[in-house]
Amino acid sequence: MQLEMAVARQKSAIYTSLDLVEKSLEIQLQQLQKIPYLPKKSQEFWMSDTLWGLAESYAALEEHAKSYDYFKKVYELDKRLNGKQDQAVTLRRMGEQKVALKQFVEASEHFNLSLEILNELDIPLAVLDTQTYISEMHLRQGKLQLAKDSLETIIEHLDINKNVKSYSRVSYLLIDAYLQSELYEQAHSQLRLIERLKSNDIAKYYGFLAQALQGMGDLAGAFEAQNQMHMAYKNKMKEQGSLKTLVLASESEYVTGQFELKQAKAEQALLKAEQTLTHYIGFSIVAVLLSIIGFVLVFTRQRRARLEQEAKHLNQALELKKQLLADVSHELRTPLAVLKLHLEALEHNLVSDPQATYKVLNQRLDNLNLLISDIYELAQADTGTFNLNLEKHDASELFDDLAGQIEDVLCDHDLHLEVKKSPLDKVLLEVDAARLHQVVANLSRNSIHYTDKPGEVCFEISHNEQVVILSFSDSSPGVSEQDLPHLFERLFRCDKSRSRDLGGSGLGLSICEKVVEAHGGEISAFHSELGGLKIEITLPKVL
């Protein structure tokens, strides 16, 4: 498989060089799928190699942001594989992509890191290559004098006979700098110096020569050089087209040959299988049939069990939905019926005190509005649109605000409030304070409605290493053991005979549960030491 990976990598590089980048990307993506099946010790190497190929392909497509991301992944792998020189080369390629994106500050950082590594490894030619890329960046930034000076320094350290490729690259960049600076004579001199190297890129050579001659006033020479440039481009495109055709034709022949080879092997294997099958045909057929029957039976049973389970869950959900709709309808019907009766009495002048009747109507409307508001809150929680405005609060100050909110309300209803607070030095909570006020208000309302008067309420805060604990306890009457687990169910009331004139919606504790869970906390119900109900809330600290 590793040999196939190496061959595919070379094919990918060839396709990229011929501008068949889509074909190259197709091969590289196939390679990625094979990597998990390679030996562990070689997986990182091939991952690095394949990611490098993807980065080069995206660079060829001029998708430099994607190319940079892949080179960055290669760099992380290079650091784990301890390839110092590989790190330097990858950093340089990362810098090139940043230059193409005109993000020159980041590009400089990558180039400088590359230079540090190469100087440490003492690889002079590689150092000169990186300095060349830095000079090219200066050229793109319009820093012509800086680019020209650095390129002239670099070219002095290169041998035109030994370092042909590097010398040619630096020369073209230097010529570009001369032309942009309108130093046409110097550009022409450098072009004459590399004339014998022009075969490496004839079109670029004649393009620069045309600009230099035009700047020097030799219009006829410039015209001739421009004709040579166009001819070179035409020949290059024709040659590249021929190569593309040749490669694709070779690929087609290879695929066809592989198909014919597989077909021949398949026919040979089939013949051998037929010879063997004649000896065991009876046993094989029976075994296959038994296997199929067994598989069908197992599959049928599993499918039936799964369908039955799904049907059970669906029926439960439908029953819950029906029950909820029935309960909500009932909850709405009662106050609406009362409203209708009072309005009819007012209409027919059957009431002796209209003002008192209006007061009752307002109270009924308030209760109805509370029920609809609570239903809307729960609908938000069910649909995932229950939003919190989270902010960091000092737990001690927040607790004091909550206690202050309920103290006057409870006292007005003949309930004595006791506040207990353990030390809370620098304890922070990230919560929606308004929602917590809503929770405490709901708990207070429950105590007002369902606690015998005069009564007691205890509001307490404590904490441990992970959480802050809020507890809200009231005095008798309490809740039975069978009702305790159902308190947070929607529209559940412990005492079915209690009048709905108390104003509760039966949804308050359900809303409390949703708010606390949205904060990442938990809410639980217990028997209170005061003889009534105790609600305990835990909220995670900001650590």
b/e map 50-86, b = 16+ CB within 10 Å? bbbbbbbbbbbbeebeebbbbbbbbbebbeeeeeeeb
Q: 515: part of which helix (H) or strand (E)?
A: helix 508-518
pLDDT at 178: 92
- Residue range 301-311: mean pLDDT, rounded: 82
pLDDT at 486 over 50: yes
Question: For tokens 């021929």, what's the residue?
Answer: 242
pLDDT at 149 over 80: yes
pLDDT at 175: 92
Write out pLDDT tens, residues 348-402. 777 777 787 777 777 667 666 666 766 766 666 666 666 788 899 999 999 999 9
pLDDT at 133: 92
- Residue range 86-108: mean pLDDT, rounded: 91
- Residue range 210-228: mean pLDDT, rounded: 88
Contact predicate 388/435, CB 8 Å: yes
- Residue range 403-415: mean pLDDT, rounded: 86
pLDDT at 44 over 70: yes
The token duo for 215 is 């700047």
| Chain mean position to CA 152 | 47
Res. 494 pLDDT band, cuts 50 70 90: low
Highest mean pLDDT among 135-139, 226-230, 488-492 belongs to 135-139
C-alpha span between 443 and 415 (Å, rounded)? 13
Question: For tokens 């993000």, what's the residue?
Answer: 103
pLDDT at 483: 85
Res. 104 pLDDT band, cuts 50 70 90: very high
pLDDT at 370: 63
- Residue range 517-524: mean pLDDT, rounded: 91
- Residue range 35-63: mean pLDDT, rounded: 82
- Residue range 106-122: mean pLDDT, rounded: 91
- Residue range 193-213: mean pLDDT, rounded: 86
Q: Residue 196, Cβ neighbours under 10 Å: how many?
A: 9
pLDDT at 242: 53
pLDDT at 382: 64
- Residue range 510-519: mean pLDDT, rounded: 88
pLDDT at 387: 77
Contact predicate 540/467, CB 8 Å: yes
pLDDT at 363: 66
- Residue range 256-260: mean pLDDT, rounded: 47
Residues 6+ apart with CB under 8 A from 402: 436, 437, 440, 459, 470
pLDDT at 239: 61
- Residue range 132-148: mean pLDDT, rounded: 92
- Residue range 13-42: mean pLDDT, rounded: 75
Contact predicate 450/428, CB 8 Å: no
pLDDT at 241: 57
C-alpha span between 306 and 16 (Å, rounded)? 51
Res. 521 pLDDT band, cuts 50 70 90: very high
pLDDT at 265: 61
Largest CA distance in the chain: 118
Average model confidence (pLDDT) for the chain?
A: 80
Res. 184 pLDDT band, cuts 50 70 90: very high
- Residue range 26-33: mean pLDDT, rounded: 76
Exposed, middle or buried by CB within 10 Å (0-12, 13-18, 19+), for 99?
buried
pLDDT at 502 over 70: no
Better-scored residue on pLDDT, 33 or 431:
431
Min mean pLDDT across 41-45, 90-94, 101-105, 216-220 is at 41-45
Question: For tokens 């069908």, what's the residue?
Answer: 296
pLDDT at 500: 40
- Residue range 250-275: mean pLDDT, rounded: 57
Question: Taking Cα atoms as reference points, which of 221, 164, 220, 217 lies closest to residue 194?
Answer: 164
pLDDT at 501: 44
Min mean pLDDT across 11-20, 45-54, 171-180, 383-392 is at 11-20
The token duo for 248 is 């694709």
Min mean pLDDT across 18-27, 151-160, 191-200, 267-276 is at 267-276
Question: Taking Cα atoms as reference points, which of 425, 434, 416 lies closest to residue 397?
Answer: 425
pLDDT at 297 over 50: yes
Write out pLDDT tens, residues 59-71. 888 889 999 999 9
- Residue range 461-466: mean pLDDT, rounded: 90
C-alpha span between 433 and 206 (Å, rounded)? 74
pLDDT at 257 over 50: no
Res. 470 pLDDT band, cuts 50 70 90: very high
pLDDT at 505: 58
Res. 19 pLDDT band, cuts 50 70 90: low
pLDDT at 262 over 70: no
Residues of the chain with pLDDT > 90, as a percent, come to 22
